[in-house]
Structure 1
Amino acid sequence: MNNILALLLCLIASSVYAQSGTVIDEVIARVGSEYVLLSELEEQYALAESQTNESLPAQARCAMLDQTLVGKLLYNQSKLDSVEVTDSEVEQQLNARIDRILSYMGGDINQFEDYYGQSITATKEQFREDLREQLAVDRMRASVVREVKVTPAEVKNFFSEIPRDSLPYFNSEVEVGELVVKPTANDSTRQAVTQRLQELRDAIVAGEITFEEAAQQNSADGSARGGGDLGWTQRGKFVAEFEAAAYNLDPGEISEVVETEFGYHLIKLQGRRGNSIRVSHILLQPAITEADREESRTFLDSIANLIRVDSFSFSYAVKRFGFDKVQSYNNDGRMSNPASGNTFFEIGDLDPDVYFAIDEMTIDSISEVMEFRGPTGDPLLRVVQLQSRTSPHRATLSQDYAKIQDATRNAKQQQYLSDWIQEKVGSTFIKIDERYQSCPQIKTWIEDSRKITVGGSNGNVATGK
């Protein structure tokens, strides 16, 4: 259970100290219009201690405050630059994170509410604005470094400056392609789902049940707990079929059955504000039978055989027959390693089924059909192709260019962000409590702001008491 608590603390900012009253809250810093509370810093410190299971040095608070100030500076600038985070995005993130925690509890809502001492709705409300701030900070940071590029010459120079004895040693790595197929429900199952939705629509229109009640009792996604409410959103946030139907409704109107990649929906338009709409939906998903999976398995196996006899290339098969909602589809089937962001996997990074499938394969060979779960939990089928394999080696520019390029870009982005922060400090109101001004990292904030102000900036920086 402690692991579950740690997960919640990592996914959603905690307010344990503020709730328990062990810390009397006070403002310890201000960045523009944003404040840093003592409780925020103490929460971060307590969480870090719980994860390391040992006492941290006092200087750890200095580093944490420095990072918090960076976040507040980015959040303040996001408001000045009108960086938008919609209610719908926040709601979707909250639902996803709560659902992930519930999955660790076997989906037991009562266990969740007993453990955290409040309802799921109350938990979401408590952390809604913290999550909105986090999303805005991430978006602002990405915006700052978005245009940073590196040239081949910069990559070469970056690599040449690494001392020979400091070059990283890479374990054996592989590149793997995948051809993914999503089994589909048969016609009779899909027809039964659409019929059920039509029955629900008729009952709602007849006043036998409200839309919200029907969503709570029937909808297959996390919005069911809120009566199907998806919050306010603008164009471009929903898949095309859903959005077209939603924007064609009048307030209070309920759509006919709408099919999307997620299943079948009834959509109710709750309100319209300019180009923004608030909608609720009921989602039903047709069950995939064993016969459906077997039919898709046979189809995928036949495609794999055609690749093996060179009837067409793996890349062509991905584009012609592959499921286009997986990440690899737009990269000719090549899988990306979420840990590194590139296409190289150490053996330990691979899904165990993929590892055992490629363990004794030769380059360009194709595996047998495997079942797996997609990012949203959908049952999928795939065959994989071993596309390259390296031996353990010390980094070289020719063999590891993509990794060195990423490292070069990351270093350049970090320097660019650091320069941006230094510039913004000089034009942003900064005030930091005396207790933290002796921190080396915090001194840098104060010195930079004073330096720029004395040099003739707009003089609106406040430091000190």
Structure 2
Amino acid sequence: MLFSQNYWKMPKNQMNLRFIKPFKLTSIFVFLFTSILSAQVVIDGIAGIVGNNIVLNSDIEQQLLQYQAQGLEIDSALRVQVLEDLLFQKLMLHQALLDSVVVTENEVLNEVDSRIDNFIAQLGGEDQLESYFDKKIYEIKEEMFEPIESSLLIQRVRYGITSSVTITPSEIRSFFGTFSSDSLPIVNEEVEVAQILKLPPASSAAVSETKKKLEKLKSRIAKGESFGTLAILYSEDPGSSRNGGLYTSIKRGMFVKEFEAVMFSLEVGEVSDVFKTEYGYHIMVLEERREDEVDVRHLLMSPKISPLDLNNAKDLLQDVRDSILNGDLLFTKAALRYSDDKSTKFNGGKLINPSTGDTKFELAQLEQGINVAIENLNVNEITDPLFVKMDDGKEAYRMFVLLNRKQQHQVNLVDDYKRIRDLALESKKDKSIEEWISKSLEQTYVSVHKSYQSDMFQYNWLKK
């Protein structure tokens, strides 16, 4: 839905507006989710063929199961919509083959890691993710590879079709004018927020103590103790400690570069020296190497942050806040200079909404701690330094400034021009996709099971 219900409050009687994209590319991720969650649904039969690409009945059933889990009623219309989505994806993959469109292994692996991070954030941790799917992280990644590769190819083909599409101001106004005033949705209250996050650095004494502990453990391993047992007892990596620090079938691109640099430099059975990553300090042993993948065990320890270190971070942020309020320092400059959040420090500390890619949030979309902190702020007002315990267990202080607040309003060209422009552009791109589909179907072999009738589809898949 172009006007997503996550961001637009729309009365039910307005749901018949033409805000539906002809095909939902995100449906491939629904398939991805369900294919990992359960074994392949055993329903024999081919629902359709596009070029050399096959749509199985089981593909349709898997997506319908996910829709059913979301509370949607499964009917014949939804079944046809799912099939048509899948046929469209196969048509795109067929075009990718014809045009020699490729994606690299690293591109796929990076996207896999991003999806895994999203799943972990939604489910609360790596343990919860593994428990939910009843699979190890590396197994989930392996099963994600092929559907992610397909989705990237589809995105690349779609970009090739729509990249030259542009929109003019007059077209934007015309698009907006197609909607009657009483049918325009309501935009909920939105805010823009920036932050400065300060992670207290560990003292040199704490770092030295951590390294000494790892060196002692390495000595114990050299004397015959089990690396796996020591990892269970001492490792602080929640993703591997219970398995004796073991990660299997690891390929390049799946871990941070410092970790991989050591991992691929070891001989089988060799224990590494102590080394550092963004997560802390490690030792590692190479268990097995198979062509381009390895099995390793590692043991992670992080230097302990003292209450004094934490209080120093708070005092630093308080001094920064005072300098900003006194006019001696801009918040944007302070974020660049002092913030430890790499994702925001280079853009003035602005938080980015992961759902939209821009800086606007509804209050309900913000992390609860941020929501509470800024809920009653005036524009340009800055909070005091606030304690936060992050998802990885690290403790820090952060402060926020409210950059902008827009009250709930009916969508209009003055306040929402960018959003309307983007929607108008997407609508025009959708039309170019529709034209491409119609033209491609004339030149591509397509076969759909006889149980489907031509009047069921939006496009002429049956070529009648």
TM class, shorter-chain normalised?
Answer: 0.7 to 0.9
Q: TM-score, structure 1 length as denominator?
A: 0.75
Query: Does residue 1:46 correspond to 2:65, yes or no?
Result: yes
Distance in 2, matches of 1:91 and 1:297, equals 36
Does structure 2 retain, via aligned residues, the 8 Å contact 1:62–1:439?
Answer: no
2:175 to 161, 166, 186: 161
1:314-347 deviation per Cα after TM superposition (whole angstroms, max 9, x unaligned): 111111111143x322322111223332212233
Partner of 2:354: 338
Distance in 2, matches of 1:405 and 1:354, equals 30
Give secondary structure in 2 for the equivalent of 1:361: coil
Check 1:84–1:422 CA distance in 2 against 1; reply closer, same or farther (3 A cut). Answer: farther
Distance in 1, matches of 2:256 and 2:36, equals 33
- Within-5 A mapping of 1:305-316: 305-316=322-333
1:55-112 deviation per Cα after TM superposition (whole angstroms, max 9, x unaligned): 4321211001112223344456667533234696588578657856874898598xx4
Distance in 2, matches of 1:10 and 1:359, equals 37
Partner of 1:141: 154
Query: Does residue 1:131 correspond to 2:153, yes or no?
Result: no
Superposition RMSD in Å: 4.0
- What is the one-letter code of the residue matched to 1:158? I
Q: TM-score, structure 2 length as denominator?
A: 0.75
Partner of 2:274: 257
Most deviating of 301-310 and 35-44: 35-44
1:233-277 deviation per Cα after TM superposition (whole angstroms, max 9, x unaligned): 34x66545434444554565443222121211224455485xx56
Q: CA deviation at 1:419?
A: 4.9
Partner of 1:389: 405
Distance in 2, matches of 1:151 and 1:314, equals 38
Q: How many equivalent residue pairs?
A: 425
1:208 to 216, 222, 225: 225
2:101 to 73, 78, 81: 81
1:368-393 deviation per Cα after TM superposition (whole angstroms, max 9, x unaligned): 11233556564442111111223443
Unaligned 5+ residue runs, structure 1? 1-7, 451-465
Give secondary structure in 2 for the equivalent of 1:283: strand
1:328 to 318, 331, 344: 344
Distance in 1, matches of 2:62 and 2:165, equals 42
Does structure 1 retain, via aligned residues, the 8 Å contact 2:313–2:396?
Answer: no
2:313 to 292, 296, 304: 296
Q: CA deviation at 1:425?
A: 4.8
Distance in 2, matches of 1:95 and 1:360, equals 35
1:103-152 deviation per Cα after TM superposition (whole angstroms, max 9, x unaligned): 4898598xx49xx8xx534x974x66652233113322332345756898
Most deviating of 66-75 and 82-91: 82-91
Distance in 1, matches of 2:126 and 2:246, equals 23
Does structure 1 retain, via aligned residues, the 8 Å contact 2:379–2:403?
Answer: yes
- What is the one-letter code of the residue matched to 1:66? E
- What is the one-letter code of the residue matched to 2:56? L
Identity of aligned residues (%): 25
Check 1:11–1:170 CA distance in 2 against 1; reply closer, same or farther (3 A cut). Answer: same
Does structure 2 retain, via aligned residues, the 8 Å contact 1:33–1:76?
Answer: yes
Moved over 6 A (4+): none
Query: Does residue 1:13 correspond to 2:35, yes or no?
Result: yes
Most deviating of 57-66 and 250-259: 250-259
Distance in 2, matches of 1:371 and 1:246, equals 36
Give secondary structure in 2 for the equivalent of 1:161: helix
Does structure 2 retain, via aligned residues, the 8 Å contact 1:318–1:329?
Answer: yes
2:135 to 120, 145, 160: 120
Does structure 2 retain, via aligned residues, the 8 Å contact 1:83–1:140?
Answer: yes
Most deviating of 415-424 and 216-225: 415-424
Query: Does residue 1:62 correspond to 2:96, yes or no?
Result: no
Give secondary structure in 1 for the equivalent of 2:378: coil
Q: CA deviation at 1:414?
A: 3.7
Does structure 2 retain, via aligned residues, the 8 Å contact 1:180–1:380?
Answer: yes
Distance in 1, matches of 2:333 and 2:324, equals 9
- Within-5 A mapping of 1:381-420: 381-419=397-435
Check 1:382–1:423 CA distance in 2 against 1; reply closer, same or farther (3 A cut). Answer: farther
Check 1:351–1:156 CA distance in 2 against 1; reply closer, same or farther (3 A cut). Answer: farther
Most deviating of 296-305 and 25-34: 25-34
Distance in 2, matches of 1:167 and 1:213, equals 63
Check 1:197–1:70 CA distance in 2 against 1; reply closer, same or farther (3 A cut). Answer: farther
Check 1:9–1:220 CA distance in 2 against 1; reply closer, same or farther (3 A cut). Answer: farther
Distance in 2, matches of 1:300 and 1:69, equals 55
Most deviating of 40-49 and 316-325: 40-49
Distance in 2, matches of 1:333 and 1:70, equals 40
Most deviating of 428-437 and 140-149: 140-149
Unaligned 5+ residue runs, structure 2? 1-29
- What is the one-letter code of the residue matched to 1:189? A
Query: Does residue 1:25 correspond to 2:44, yes or no?
Result: yes
Distance in 1, matches of 2:307 and 2:109, equals 36
